[in-house]
Amino acid sequence: VATPKTVIWTPDPHTKAKHQILSGYLDAYFPIVTKQFSDAGVAFIDAFSGPGEYEDGSDGSPIIALESARASVGGNSTTPLKFIFIEKERDRFDHLADLLTQRTLPATTTIESRHGHCADVLTPLIDELEITNWPMFVNCDGWGVDTPYTLIEAVSRTKRPEVMVTISTQWFMRFADTTEGAAGDKVFGDASWRQVANVPTTEKKRWLVERYRRRLADAGFEFQLTFELVDEMGHPLFLIFGTHSVHGVEKMKDSMWRVDSSSGSRFRDPRDPNQTAFDLSDSEPTLEVLEGQILEHLGRSGVQSLKNLQEFALRETIFKKTHAVKAVTRLETLNKVTAQHAKAYKNYMVTLADPSLF
C-alpha cells in the first residue's frame, strides 16, 4: 500500500465518506453516553490521529471528533470528556498539536496527545488516566494493515468499548503466503487469516472480512458491523465497527445511510455474494441486495417473524430495520415470500413461497 510521506496530504476519495460516517455517529454517541455515564466520563481515542487536517483544508478525524462533541454536547453536560490522540510521526504529531492550541475547549473537555506507536502507548495510557470504567470510542484508522489485535483486546477489557477499524483486504490477499505476512498476524492476532491463500479468488475478500469480524467477536465485541467503501477507481476499503451495544449498531447504520453521494464513494455489503455497489440515501435505497439476503436467510432458517427479519437485517447486513419491512413487502408483491398476517400485524410470519429454490 503506497502511503503518503508528507506531513499533510490530499485526502483520497474514501476519506470524505469515512469522515461523514464518523461525525454522524459521534453526533449521536456523545449526547447519549455523556448522559448515561455522567458519574464517570467519556473518552474518544484516535489511535492513528494523523495531522488533523488535509491539503484541501478539510478537517482530520481529531478535529471532527472535537467539533462533534462541541456541537452535540457543548457546555450542556458536566460529564468529563477526554480526547486521546496518538500519532507516530513527529511532524504530524506537532502539526496536530499546533491546530489544537488554536481551539477553545469547554471546561469539561481535556486532550491527551501522545507521540508514539499506538500499540505501545494506548494500553498503559488507559490505566494511567484511570478510564477503564468509561465508555470509549476508539478510532483505528491506520493505513489498513496496522491495528494490532493486542490493542483491540486491551480496549475490549474496558467497560463499554467501541472500535472502528480500517482494513485493506487487498494487502492481506497479496501477502498471505509471504514473510511480509507477519504484519497481518499482528492485526488478526494469529496466523489463521493466512488460510485465505486457499480460498477461491472471488471469495477471498468476503472470507477475510468474516475472519476479522470473528476476531472482534473473539475479543468480546458482541456486535460487528462491516461495510465496504468503493471509490471511483474501484478500490475497496473496509470499515469494521465493533460494539457491545445493539443501539450502537443502529446509530452507526443511521450515520452510514446519511452519507451523501457527493462523497465520491459507493457502498457494498461485504456479505453480498454478488458484490453490488450502490449509493446510500435515506429516500430511495436499493433493496435488491437485502431482498436476496432475506430469501437466503429464510431458505436456511425456515419461517421467520418480521421482527426476526428486522433483527437479521440490523445485525447481519448493512441495511436498517425499516429496510427489512420494505424488502419483505416487495418480496411479497413479487410472490417470492408469503406473509401470514397475524393479529399483531407488525410482527407477522414470513415464509418462502417456493422453498425448493433454496
Ligand X SMILES: C[S@@+](CC[C@H](N)C(=O)[O-])C[C@H]1O[C@@H](n2cnc3c(N)ncnc32)[C@H](O)[C@@H]1O
CB of 139 to ligand X, least distance (A): 6
Position 92 contacts ligand X (CB under 6 A): yes
C-alpha grid cell for residue 201? 479468488
State which of positions 182-241 bind ligand X (CB under 6 A): none
Question: Please, which residue, 50 or 80, has the CB nearer to ligand X?
Answer: 50
SS3 275: coil
Position 118 contacts ligand X (CB under 6 A): yes
Q: Which of 100, 105, 117, 254 binds ligand X (CB under 6 A)?
A: 117
Q: Residue 260: phi, psi to the nearest 5? A: -85, 160
Cα 349 to Cα 173: distance, rounded to the nearest angstrom: 41
Position 88 contacts ligand X (CB under 6 A): yes
State which of positions 124-153 bind ligand X (CB under 6 A): 141-143, 146
Query: Which segment (66-74, 86-94, 150-158, 276-284) binds ligand X by CB under 6 A?
Result: 86-94
Give the contacts of 123 (CB within 8 A, at least 6 positions apart). Answer: 150, 151, 154
Cα 273 to Cα 231: distance, rounded to the nearest angstrom: 19
The four Cα atoms 230, 233, 236, 237 give a dihedral, to 10 degrees, of: -80
Question: Please, which residue, 141 or 291, has the CB nearer to ligand X?
Answer: 141
Query: Which segment (82-90, 201-209, 236-244, 293-301) binds ligand X by CB under 6 A?
Result: 82-90
Which residues does residue 109 pair with via DSSP β-bridges, in sequence order?
81
> Taking Cα atoms as reference points, which of 9, 85, 77 lies closest to residue 38?
77
Q: Is 158 exposed, middle or buried (0-12, 13-18, 19+ CB in 10 A)?
A: middle
CB of 73 to ligand X, least distance (A): 21
Cα 183 to Cα 172: distance, rounded to the nearest angstrom: 9
Q: Which of 55, 56, 89, 98 binds ligand X (CB under 6 A)?
A: 89
Position 24 contacts ligand X (CB under 6 A): no
Q: How many residues in total does the chain contain? A: 358
Cα 328 to Cα 193: distance, rounded to the nearest angstrom: 36
Q: Is 333 exposed, middle or buried (0-12, 13-18, 19+ CB in 10 A)?
A: exposed
CB of 20 to ligand X, least distance (A): 11
CB of 233 to ligand X, least distance (A): 17
> Taking Cα atoms as reference points, which of 77, 41, 83 lies closest to residue 64?
83
Query: Which segment (115-123, 200-208, 288-296, 307-315) binds ligand X by CB under 6 A?
Result: 115-123
Residue nearest to ligand X (CB): 60
Question: Please, which residue, 37 or 83, has the CB nearer to ligand X?
Answer: 83
Query: Which segment (84-92, 186-194, 209-217, 303-311) binds ligand X by CB under 6 A?
Result: 84-92
Question: Please, which residue, 166 or 226, has the CB nearer to ligand X?
Answer: 166
State which of positions 31-60 bind ligand X (CB under 6 A): 46, 48-50, 60
**Which positions lie near ligand X, rule CB under 6 A?**
46, 48-50, 60-61, 86-89, 92, 117-119, 141-143, 146
